[in-house]
Structure formats: C-alpha cells, structure tokens
Amino acid sequence: MEDKTCILIMIGILLLVYYMNEETNIRIENENNEYIQKKIRSEKSLIEGNENQDDEILVEETETENESIIEESNDESNEESNDESNEESNDESNEESNEDELNFNEEFKNKLREEHSMCPHMNAPTRLSVAIHYPPHNTGYIISLCCHSCLKHIQDRLKKGDEKYFFRKDGKHTFFHGENGKQLVLTAIPYHIDIMKNEITGHDMY
C-alpha cells in the first residue's frame, strides 16, 4: 500500500508541474502577442503621422509660392531654400533605399537563415521565433529558439539583468548574446517579422 501511495503522490506532483508549465507558457505567449500588437499599432500610427506631416509641408510650400508672387525678392530666396531642402530629402531617401538593398540582399538573408537555424541557448535546431522585449534598449528583437523552456529562461535572465544575457549592436547589425552563444537578430517591426516568417525561418511568430 505504501508503494502505491508513493506512486500516486509522484503522479500527482508530475501532473501539477505539467499544469504549471502549461500555464506559464500560455502567459508568455500572451505577453509576446500583446507586445507584437503594440509594435504594429505604433508603426501604423507613425506612418499616419508621417502622412500628416507631408500634407502640412505641402500646404506650407503652397503658401510660400503665393507670397513669392507678391514679393519677387523673397521668391528667389524661397526657391533656393526649397531646392536645397528637396535635394537633402532626396539624398536621405536614396541612402535609406540603398541601405535596405544592402541589408536584405541574398547574402544577408542566407546569413540570417544560418544564424536562426540553431538555438543560441541549447545549440539545437530551432522550432520557434519570438519577439523579446529588451528594457535597456526599449526595443523588441526577433530571436529563434528550440523550445519554450529556452524562451522562459532567457526572459527571466533579461528581467533580472543577468550580465551574461544581453543585446549588443556591432556595426550595422545587432546580436543576442547568451550564456552559450550568440545570434544575429532583427528589430521586431512588422516588416522584419514578415521577412523572418516568410523568407528566413518559416516559423510562426510568438
């Protein structure tokens, strides 16, 4: 009878541990989903804000042109300043487009595929990609892991400020550094999430 009682107690403990792990995993997934939704909403609001700024700039340019008809001297100075500002904005847009082409060429995508094929914590094949918020940068980063246990461990270490777990920028790229390795990562914005899901890992995002 004592052996049967011990076995029943052990089974009960295992079931309790399994239930607590499931609850923890569900909570972690919900927190990550909420964070991703917040990032998507903030990106949309940023885009709408930029569109409104463009409309305001267009109105200001129209008013400047009307005033320049009345004052010819001001017309010349305004045209020169507008030309300079347009050239600067074109240069900035060209630099941004060139940077995108450089960052996401096939060579860089292959590098991402290689980096995200192995878990930086357990050195095992990855099965999921997640967006993890890093408080010191106030930014979310996409990392690929082999299991939810690694995710929970890394999140706990980051929250506690463990010096062995951090994100660091090296040149144009950012890397996650863990106790057992590192991984090239992207910021968790909708554009990068789509690239990771559809072109790099094929994993669903958590």
Q: List pLDDT tens digits, range 41-82.
A: 776 666 565 555 555 655 566 566 656 555 555 555 545 544
Number of domains in the chain: 1
Q: Domain for residue 16, yes or no?
A: no
Residue range 85-95, pLDDT digits in tens: 444 444 444 43
DSSP 128-175: EEEEEEETTTTEEEEEEES-HHHHHHHHHHHHTT-TTSEEEEETTEEE
Q: Domain for residue 169, yes or no?
A: yes
CB 151 within 8 A of CB 130: yes
What is the span of the domain harbouring residue 131?
106-200
Q: Domain for residue 44, yes or no?
A: no
Q: Where are the alpha helices (DSSP H) in 71-136?
A: 72-103, 106-115
Band of pLDDT at residue 34, cut at 50, 70 and 90? confident
Q: Domain for residue 112, yes or no?
A: yes
CB 148 within 8 A of CB 139: no
CB 200 within 8 A of CB 23: no
Q: Domain for residue 80, yes or no?
A: no
Residue with tokens 């951090």: 166
- Whole-angstrom Cα distance, residue 201 to residue 195? 9
Q: Domain for residue 92, yes or no?
A: no
pLDDT at 190 over 70: yes
- Whole-angstrom Cα distance, residue 121 to residue 54? 45
Q: Domain for residue 155, yes or no?
A: yes
- Whole-angstrom Cα distance, residue 144 to residue 135? 19
Q: Domain for residue 11, yes or no?
A: no
